[in-house]
């Protein structure tokens, strides 16, 4: 009888506590927090200690090594995964760092704006593809810290201030600074490139790059996970401001949003002028790939689009992560012999040619002491396009009488848009279509990407 009475009393107590069906997020005080550690390092000092090492292990013994930062990322919508980005101040930060944790739903313990302390003793730091990280180990670099160790090394401070003020940048160029990696920024006066309108944030089953541009034609990649809640949402067609976390992959700058509430494109689209660098005049980029594999993402598709001679051996490879959008490129990185070689020739049967097409476009970046030439086969016969000098400006080519390789290429590590004017031409639908040729006795180091027709 005593046990029955005890259970009945417990039920009465429970019912007296639940007054309604309001199960709102608990107040801050109910989050697990800790003031156990004392901060004795800044993020800048941690980065300086790591230096250029890809894997640096902090001393396990001795004094506690603790830094603190403010959470600017969130995995709540699925665009971040098992990572949090911390910056060193709620406003006007000077440095940021990435913390890799083998734990999901991190937003429950480390919501945006919360102060977090990290104890580094016995764990690792390193720089990976241009980004400073701390965590565990993976393939000789920094990986995710085991879930069982998270509570021993990462704690939320008992501070209920979650305010953050992103730094605002007009356009794109001024934000491209290593000190801005893993900090929260707002880009003003940007839009998605015309060619991507009508697309969703991400393609199914793959992380997808979308491209933001400013009025000068400068660009930055917006990375979107296919697991994000907003992956299937259409890109907004206007222009405006976007807030997110700066990142990079080697030399390619990248940008991540937490949710679509970070995107406020409520202004009309603007015309893109030639700002003189970084792929200006991007509004001139064509809408359709000329042939299967013309974005060089799938190397097998590209090779299957070539005629029976294939890719000339020793002249080119797939450039992994070196493409215009941070993905892949055609990397022409060989030395030619005594003759002017055909690097590759695309079959007409592999091409998709829209009616009344007026241009073929491609992006080129890199350097060589001789230039490139293209053969284009049409119903009226073969025509030739010679790139000539290619340096600080985009370039539109008209037909020439023959192949020529005069002029050097040096784009100063910027992408340049090369356009072949095909107005009024009827292109081949059988046999060969487009060939790329190079000058003899020359070492080439060029990246080519996104060969399109419009």
What one-character DSSP code corresponds to residue 24?
Answer: P
In a domain, 373, yes or no: yes
From 137, 156, 175, give the residue that closes a domain. 156
In a domain, 7, yes or no: no
The domain in which residue 81 lies consists of: 30-156
**Maximum distance among all alpha carbons in the chain?**
106
Determine the length of the chain.
454
Specify the number of domains making up the chain.
3
Taking only the tens of pLDDT, the chain with its 454 residues reads: 444 444 444 444 334 333 333 333 333 334 578 899 999 999 999 999 999 999 999 999 989 999 999 999 999 999 999 999 999 999 999 999 999 999 999 999 999 999 999 999 999 999 998 899 999 998 888 999 999 999 999 999 998 889 999 999 988 988 999 999 999 999 999 999 998 999 999 999 999 999 999 988 889 999 999 999 999 999 999 999 999 999 998 888 999 999 999 999 999 898 875 333 333 333 345 668 999 999 999 999 999 999 999 999 999 999 998 988 778 999 999 999 999 999 999 999 999 888 888 999 999 999 999 999 999 999 999 999 999 999 878 899 999 999 999 999 999 888 899 999 999 999 999 999 999 999 999 999 999 999 999 8
The predicted structure's pLDDT at residue 329:
93
Cα(94)–Cα(71) distance, integer angstroms: 14
Helix (H, G, I), strand (E, B) or coil at 4: helix
Helix (H, G, I), strand (E, B) or coil at 57: strand
The predicted structure's pLDDT at residue 15:
40
From 228, 253, 275, give the residue that closes a domain. 275
Q: Are 344 and 334 in contact (CB under 8 A)?
A: no
Residues 6 or more apart whose CB falls under 8 angstroms from that of 425 comprise 376, 378, 379, 380, 383
The distance of Cα 190 from the centroid of its chain, to the nearest Å, equals: 16
Strands 316-320 and 409-410, bridge-based pairing: unpaired
- Residue 269 exposure: Cα atoms within 13 Å on the Cβ side: 15
Q: Is the pTM of this model over 0.85?
A: no
What one-character DSSP code corresponds to residue 303?
Answer: H
In a domain, 91, yes or no: yes
Look at residues 287, 271, 191, 170 and name the one whose alpha carbon lies nearest to residue 238.
191
The predicted structure's pLDDT at residue 285:
54
Cα(325)–Cα(209) distance, integer angstroms: 7
Phi and psi torsions of 365, nearest 5°: -145, 140
Residues 442, 299 share a domain: yes
Residues 335, 358 share a domain: yes
Cα(46)–Cα(66) distance, integer angstroms: 9
In a domain, 313, yes or no: yes
Residues 270, 293 share a domain: no
Look at residues 115, 95, 92, 71 and name the one whose alpha carbon lies nearest to residue 165.
92
| CATH number of the structural domain spanning residue 45 | 2.40.50
In a domain, 197, yes or no: yes
Q: Are 449 and 295 in contact (CB under 8 A)?
A: yes
Residues 108, 46 share a domain: yes
Cα(60)–Cα(152) distance, integer angstroms: 13
Look at residues 201, 218, 219 and name the one whose alpha carbon lies nearest to residue 210.
201
Whole-number Cα distances in Å, 382 to 312, 378, 427:
21, 6, 10
The predicted structure's pLDDT at residue 413:
84
The predicted structure's pLDDT at residue 286:
62
Residues 66, 202 share a domain: no
In a domain, 304, yes or no: yes
């Amino acid at each position: 009888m005593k046990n029955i009475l005890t259970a009945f009393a417990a039920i009465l107590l429970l019912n007296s506590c639940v007054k309604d069906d309001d199960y709102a997020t608990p107040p801050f005080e109910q989050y697990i927090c800790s003031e156990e550690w004392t901060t004795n390092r800044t993020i800048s000092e941690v980065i300086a200690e790591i230096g250029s090492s890809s894997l640096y292990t902090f001393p396990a013994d001795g004094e506690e090594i603790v830094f603190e930062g403010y959470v600017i990322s969130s995995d709540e919508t699925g665009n971040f995964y098992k990572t949090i980005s911390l910056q060193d101040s709620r406003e006007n930060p000077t440095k940021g760092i990435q913390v890799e944790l083998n734990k999901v739903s991190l937003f429950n313990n480390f919501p945006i704006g919360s102060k977090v302390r990290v104890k580094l003793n016995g764990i690792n730091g390193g720089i990976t593809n241009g980004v400073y990280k701390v965590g565990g180990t993976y393939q000789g670099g920094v990986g995710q810290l085991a879930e069982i160790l998270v509570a021993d090394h990462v704690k939320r401070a008992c501070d209920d201030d979650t305010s953050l003020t992103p730094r605002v940048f007009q356009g794109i160029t001024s934000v491209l600074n290593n000190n801005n990696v893993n900090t929260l920024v707002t880009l003003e006066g940007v839009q998605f490139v015309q060619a991507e309108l009508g697309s969703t944030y991400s393609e199914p089953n793959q992380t997808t790059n979308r491209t933001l541009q400013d009025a000068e034609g400068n660009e930055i990649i917006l990375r979107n996970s296919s697991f994000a809640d907003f992956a299937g949402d259409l890109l907004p067609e206007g222009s405006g401001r976007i807030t997110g976390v700066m990142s990079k992959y080697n030399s390619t700058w990248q940008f991540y949003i937490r949710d679509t509430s970070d995107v406020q494109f409520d202004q009309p689209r603007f015309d893109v002028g030639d700002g003189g660098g970084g792929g200006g005049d991007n509004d001139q980029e064509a809408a359709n790939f000329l042939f299967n594999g013309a974005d060089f993402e799938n190397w097998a598709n590209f090779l299957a689009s070539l005629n029976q001679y294939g890719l000339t051996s020793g002249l080119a490879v797939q450039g992994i992560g070196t493409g215009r959008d941070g993905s892949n490129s055609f990397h022409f990185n060989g030395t030619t012999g005594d003759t002017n070689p055909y690097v590759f020739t695309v079959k007409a049967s592999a091409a998709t040619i829209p009616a009344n097409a007026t241009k073929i476009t491609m992006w080129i970046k890199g350097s060589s002491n001789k230039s490139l030439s293209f053969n284009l086969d049409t119903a009226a016969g073969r025509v030739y396009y010679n790139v000539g000098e290619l340096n600080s400006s985009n370039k539109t080519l008209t037909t020439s009488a023959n192949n020529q390789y005069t002029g050097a290429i040096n784009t100063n590590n910027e992408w340049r848009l090369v356009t072949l004017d095909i107005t009024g031409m009827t292109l081949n639908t059988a046999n060969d279509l487009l060939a790329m040729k190079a000058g003899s006795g020359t070492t080439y180091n060029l990246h080519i990407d996104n060969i399109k027709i419009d």
